Amino acid sequence: MRNLIFFFYKYYTFILFFFLELFSFVVLYQYNNYQKASFLNFTGGISSSFYESINSTTNYFGLRNINDSLLAENASLRSQMMNAYYQSGTTQTSINDTVYKQQYSYISANVVNNSVTKRNNYITIDKGAMHGIEPDMGVISSNGVVGIVTSVSLHFATIRSALNGNTKISCMLKKNNAFGSLEWNGDDPKFSSLKYVNKHVPITSNDEVVTSNYSTLFPEGIPVGQVYSHSLDAGDNFHVIKVNLYTDFSTLKNVYVIKNIFKDEQQTLEGNLKGGN
Amino acid sequence: MVIELITYIVRFLLIILIQLLVVNNIELSTYVNPYMYILFILTLPISMKPWVVVLISFFTGMVMDTFSSTPGLHMAATGFMGYIRGFYLQFSCSKEDFAGRIEPSISKKGIVWFIVYMTILTLLHHVFLFYLEIYSFKEFFRTLWRILSSTFFTVLIITLGQLLFYRNAKT
């Protein structure tokens, strides 16, 4: 017993170090494996409100660019509106269309914190659970795909951006619907790579890459990028494709979070299938 | 004693703010991610008890984790570095250094000692941090290159900072 006490007395620094290290590994492991374990809730959104106050100042420097991109988007949306097609504006609310049922709704948000040079990049936005955002929702900008929501607090949410080693987005080539998975190799924030596209699929440069209809996160056909270069190693079954991303992550300011209204239904159905086997 | 405590708190806040608002926004390349916030741990007094340093290291890492949405990552790496720091100082410092409240700095220990001390501990911290972030050895050499260039920039920033700001305050 005395030896035991002496042992603890002699190595208390190591014991302290050991337990704290164990604690941090547990936190790291938990968070990496279960997206439900929201780190943002754990820290109470301190960091997000800090970044928001910083952002309210730095936002002024980019106002001109933000305005320009919003104007361009407004123009393109206006041209898609019903009243651009000469129709008298009667009320359009709550039409229960039985042929076209709304599947996706969009929540707009501002980026309050962002990084592009880390191996695993995260984005923080200023909308959270209060505005209807939940983990595992897709996020896009006016140009293309941005990432996937990982954790949500009341007023904020963090997004695993497409520039993250753990983000895999199901994509396809627009011209022939060949499927692949968009994964970032950590080199250049302007480019990502499209993996697992079969070698028999013909590919040329500047082919457009869009989101596929396999994903429950994104609607089909959201633009992702263009094929920048492609090659095929001998004996390999898949193309090596470098994709030039449409989204400029370093100047990202406004994003849209996508709510898939049928997602639970689809996942329950697929879950049943797995459970049945 | 109270003044000393306040000095450390102010220094802690300053270093964290510089890391978050200035250094994190250096977008040179994906291979340059300097983490100069470890300067706070590295300039704690030599005579400080190792367990206090370990506690402060974990706390500093936790603060960094909160602001970079990486739970446990900086905590594990900085805590590890804080623990190793004790051994390194025991091995490289004389009895007199442990007697007073000397801080490891260029003016007290000389530039060569300081740079070697910085490089070894920064390298340990970065190796731990970057490989833990990838969580596999899949991109071994790419990560190694990332570690080396980031370490270079971290040591560069810290040394320049020391030469610019600390020297006047300490003489």
Nearest CA in chain A to B30: A117
Query: How many domains are there within chain B?
Result: 1
ipTM: 0.81
Contact B55 A16 (CB under 8 A): yes
**DSSP secondary structure letters along A63-113:** HHHHHHHHHHHHHHHHHHSGGGG-------TT---SSS---EEEEEEEEEE
**CB contact at 8 A, A209 and A186:** no
Cβ <8 Å between B71 and A28: yes
The answer to whether residue A126 is domain-embedded is no
Inter-chain touch A25–B76, beta carbons under 8 Å = yes
Q: Which residues lie across from A161 on neighbouring strands?
A: A147
Residue A166: what are its φ and ψ, rounded to 5°?
-95, -5
User: Looking at residue A89, what is its pLDDT?
Assistant: 42
- Contact assignment for B55 to A28 by CB distance below 8 Å: no
Most confident stretch, A32-36, A214-218, B45-49 = B45-49
Residue A89 inside a domain? The answer is no
B109-138 average pLDDT score: 88
**CA terminus-to-terminus distance, chain A:** 55
Q: Over the stretch B67-87, which tens digit does the pLDDT of each residue have?
A: 887 888 899 999 999 999 999
Domain coverage including residue B6: 2-170
Into how many domains does chain A fold? 1
Mutation target to probe the A interface, by most A beta carbons within 10 A, among B13, B21, B30, B136 is B30
Contact A149, A134 (CB under 8 A): yes
| Residue A148: both structure tokens together | 């996937």
**Distance separating alpha carbons of residues A22 and B107, to the nearest angstrom:** 37
A57 vs B: CB within 8 A? no
CB-nearest partner of A20 from B50, B54, B70: B54
Q: How far is B72 from chain A (nearest CA, A)?
A: 4
User: Which of A14, A31, A118 is facing B33, going by the closest CB pair?
Assistant: A118
Interface test with B, best of A18, A117, A184 (most B CBs within 10 A): A117
Q: Does the beta-carbon distance from B30 to A117 stay under 8 Å?
A: yes
Average pLDDT over residues B39-62: 91
Q: How far apart are CA B12 and CA A208, in angstroms?
A: 49
Contact in structure between A209 and A225 (CB atoms under 8 Å):
yes
Domain membership of residue A44 (yes or no) is: no
* B97-B36-A35 Cα angle (round to 5): 125
Q: State the residue range of the domain holding A207.
A: 169-251
Q: Is residue A7 part of a domain?
A: no
A28 touches chain B (CB under 8 A): yes
Closest CA to B70 of A43, A1, A5: A43
In the predicted structure, residue A207 carries a pLDDT above the cut 80: yes
Rounded average pLDDT over B6-20:
91
* pLDDT in the model for residue A1: 74
User: B30 and A50 in contact by Cβ < 8 A?
Assistant: no
What confidence score (pLDDT) does residue A61 get? 78
In a domain, A67, yes or no: no
Question: In terms of CA atoms, which chain B residue is nearest residue A47?
Answer: B67
Nearest to A117 among B21, B27, B75 (CB): B27
Which stretch of A124-128, A213-217, B49-53 has the lowest confidence by average pLDDT?
A: A213-217
Q: Judge residue B139's burial from the number of C-beta atoms within 10 Å of its C-beta, 0-12 exposed, 13-18 middle, 19 or more buried.
A: middle
Residue A97 has pLDDT above 80, yes or no: no
Q: Minimal Cα–Cα distance from A105 to chain B, Å?
A: 27
Identify the CATH number of the domain in which residue A190 sits: 2.40.10.350
A117 within domain boundaries: no
Gap between the Cα atoms of A140 and A145, Å rounded:
4
On chain B, the residues whose CB falls within 8 A of the CB of A17 are 54, 79-80, 83
Q: Establish if A231 belongs to a structural domain.
A: yes
Q: What angle do CA B141, B143, B149 make, to 5 degrees?
A: 100
Residue B58 has pLDDT above 90, yes or no: yes
Residue A67: per-residue pLDDT: 80
Q: Kindly report the length of chain A.
A: 277
Q: What is the pLDDT of residue A81?
A: 64
Cα–Cα distance, A49 to A55 (Å, whole number) = 10
Q: Give the pLDDT confidence of A51-73 residue by residue, as tens digits.
A: 888 878 877 777 877 787 787 78
Q: Give the CATH number, domain containing residue B83.
A: 1.10.1760
Q: What does DSSP assign to residue A206?
A: T
Enter the tokens of residue A77.
């949306």
- pLDDT, position A33: 58
Judge whether A135 is closer than 8 Å to chain B, CB to CB.
Answer: no
Range with lowest mean pLDDT among B6-15, B24-33, B53-62:
B24-33
Give A-chain residues touching B73 at CB under 8 angstroms. Answer: 24, 28
Q: Which class for B93: exposed (0-12), middle (13-18), buried (19 or more C-beta within 10 A)?
A: middle
pLDDT at B4: 85
Q: Is B55 on the interface with A (CB under 8 A)?
A: yes
Greatest Cα pair distance, chain B, in angstroms, is 49
Q: Is residue A6 included in any domain, yes or no?
A: no
What pLDDT is recorded for position A129?
A: 86
Nearest to B79 among A24, A31, A151 (CB): A24
CB B45 within 8 A of CB B102: yes
- pLDDT on residue A90: 43
Lookup: tokens for A254: 């406004």
Any CB–CB contact under 8 A between A117 and chain B? yes
Flag if B70 and A120 touch (Cβ within 8 Å).
Answer: yes
Residue A73 CA neighbour count, 13 Å, CB half: 13
pLDDT at A87 over 60: no
In the predicted model, is pLDDT for residue A45 greater than 90?
Answer: no
